[in-house]
Amino acid sequence: MPNEVIAIAIKGVMPTANGWAVFLGNDEKTFVIYVDHSVGNALQMAISGVKRERPLTHDLIGHILLGLGARLEHIVINDVNEGTFFARILLRMDNELGKKVIEIDARPSDSVVLALQHQRPMYVARSVFDSVEDMSEVLERVMKQQAAAAEGESEEGDDPELGDEDESESDDEGEEGDEGDEGEEDGDDEDRR
């Protein structure tokens, strides 16, 4: 784990033109990562407590961990390079084969879903936290617009600061059912700010 990390939580998850915006942060600062539609839907279902009839990819990973006697300890968003975020998942295994702690490179989008599903802590490296733009005001404005629209007071469209990210940020590999995980390289464009 990086030397200095900061605890974060999901502050908001909102659909955009090309996927979903996931707002992460704390009382000091909020930042955003953009994820594809399937990950955004998985996050929204986990937040809402929706029970699925059949396991999705993140559910399957959780079942595998459980079956192997492994436990997700926490996740860390540990780097950002040209807008692409990187993360590490810390796992602890304690079964008949022995005890082991491992750290795995992962996409932040998948890491956040797993941490949410397993109710485990999420962290960001201080260096990443200090380098990202504070999106607290944008999140607050969008949430107010959504609340007003829900009450029928406003019919404003999407926030222009969220909606039109570069097309390369969407999942080019396909939608749910064909998530394109095979051959994926770490640092996919989907985990961009």
User: Exposed, middle or buried by CB within 10 Å (0-12, 13-18, 19+), for 136?
Assistant: middle
Q: Given this model, what pLDDT does residue 121 score? A: 98
Q: What is the CATH number of domain 5-146?
A: 3.10.690.10
Give dist(CA 1, CA 186) in Å, integer: 18
pLDDT along the chain (193 residues), means of 10: 84 92 96 92 84 75 80 96 95 85 94 92 97 94 87 56 45 38 44 51
Give dist(CA 67, CA 132) in Å, integer: 37
Q: Given this model, what pLDDT does residue 150 score? A: 81
pTM of the entire structure? 0.73
Q: Given this model, what pLDDT does residue 9 score? A: 97
Q: Pick the closest to residue 116 from 187, 13, 15 (CA basis).
A: 13
Q: Given this model, what pLDDT does residue 181 score? A: 40
Q: Where are the domains of the chain?
A: 5-146
Q: 């909020």: which residue's tokens?
A: 30
Q: What are phi and psi of 131, to 5 degrees?
A: -90, -20
Q: Given this model, what pLDDT does residue 133 score? A: 94
